[in-house]
Structure 1
Amino acid sequence: MGVFSAKTTAEAVVPHERSRIWDVLVDPTLVAQMTPFVKRIDASGDYWRWSMTGLEVLGVGFAPSFTERMVLEDQERLEFHHEPPENEKERAGVNGWYDLSEAQGGTRLETSLEICVSLPLPRAAGPAVRSTMKGVMATMGDRFSKNLLDYLAKG
């Protein structure tokens, strides 16, 4: 089993109030609806369990589920840390954060995500796996951004 990771960062000024963006980011149902490849997110206190649709990496298909501990800070910072339940192993996980700050014309939204997956592939497949992971992450980010803007525009 090889462990592979990929990281992405993004920054944009979103032409809406910080509180409206925050309300979306802390709503697991909305986040799931807006994020491609996500079937659902089940929230229990500070923990969100993400269930993904089937993905394929170099011919290896899997539908990961993973648990994130959410840390929310005053509508300014949202952190998530991969923390599987005790005695459970998860093949995927995400660590990262969202920062929201006031900006001319709206809210500056910055994000950093690192995704790790365990796959039955040799480490030598790393470059190809990371390339695939980055492509999936880019698609997810682009579609989530579009869906977020569409949702906020509806008022």
Structure 2
Amino acid sequence: MTRFSADVASEATVTAERKAVWDVLVDPVLLPKLTPLLSRIEDDGSLWRWHMVRLAVMGVGIKPVFTERMTFDEGVRIDFTHEPPAGVTEWAGAEGHYTLSDTPGGTHLEIGLRLDVDLPLSRLAAPVVERTMRSTMAVTGDRFSANLLKHLKAKQR
């Protein structure tokens, strides 16, 4: 197995109150409805198990499932770090954060995310695999953003 990684960072200001944005980001039932490629989240308090849909990367089919330790700073910040259960090997994981702050007439949201996945591919495939990962993450983020705005009945400023 070879580990491949991709990072994405984005920020936006939306015309919704911070509490409304926060309530979406901490809802493990609603998030999969708004996030393409995410089928469900199992919530076990501060541990969330993320189930993705089946993806194909260079002819290799994967259906990532990974456990994240979620740390919530009420209304301000969410940090997540990969923490698989003892004795369990997970082939994917994420590290990152969401940060929310008030702005006049809305909320400023920053997202930083690093996704790691182990695949049975040569390290020589890294440029193609990681470029594909970044573009997939960007499209997913754009679609999540559009779904979030629609759900909140808000606009991006």
Q: TM-score, normalised by structure 1?
A: 0.97
Aligned-partner SS, 2:29: helix
Runs of 5+ unmatched residues, structure 2: none
1:33-112 matches, cutoff 5 A: 33-112=33-112
Identity of aligned residues (%): 50
Q: 1:104 deviation in Å? A: 2.5
**Which residue of structure 1 aligns with residue 12 of structure 2?**
12
Q: 1:117 deviation in Å? A: 0.1
Q: Deviations over 1:116-144 (max 9, x none)?
A: 00000011110000011011101110110
Runs of 4+ in 1 over 6 A off after TM superposition: none
Aligned-partner SS, 2:80: strand
Runs of 5+ unmatched residues, structure 1: none
- Paired letter, 1:138: A
- Paired letter, 1:18: R
Aligned-partner SS, 1:139: helix
Asked whether the 8 Å contact 1:68–1:93 carries over to 2, the reply is yes
Aligned-partner SS, 2:134: helix
Aligned-partner Cα distance in 2 for 1:113–1:146: 18
Aligned-partner Cα distance in 2 for 1:7–1:134: 7
Aligned-partner Cα distance in 2 for 1:143–1:66: 21
Aligned-partner Cα distance in 2 for 1:112–1:72: 15
Aligned-partner Cα distance in 1 for 2:61–2:3: 15
Aligned-partner Cα distance in 1 for 2:140–2:55: 12
Q: 1:74 deviation in Å? A: 2.0
Aligned-partner Cα distance in 1 for 2:8–2:64: 19
**Which residue of structure 2 aligns with residue 129 of structure 1?**
129
- Paired letter, 2:19: S
Q: 1:55 deviation in Å? A: 0.5
Q: Deviations over 1:80-124 (max 9, x none)?
A: 110000010100001000000011231000010000000000111
- Paired letter, 2:96: G
Q: TM-score, normalised by structure 2?
A: 0.96
Asked whether the 8 Å contact 1:13–1:105 carries over to 2, the reply is no
Aligned-partner Cα distance in 2 for 1:53–1:11: 25
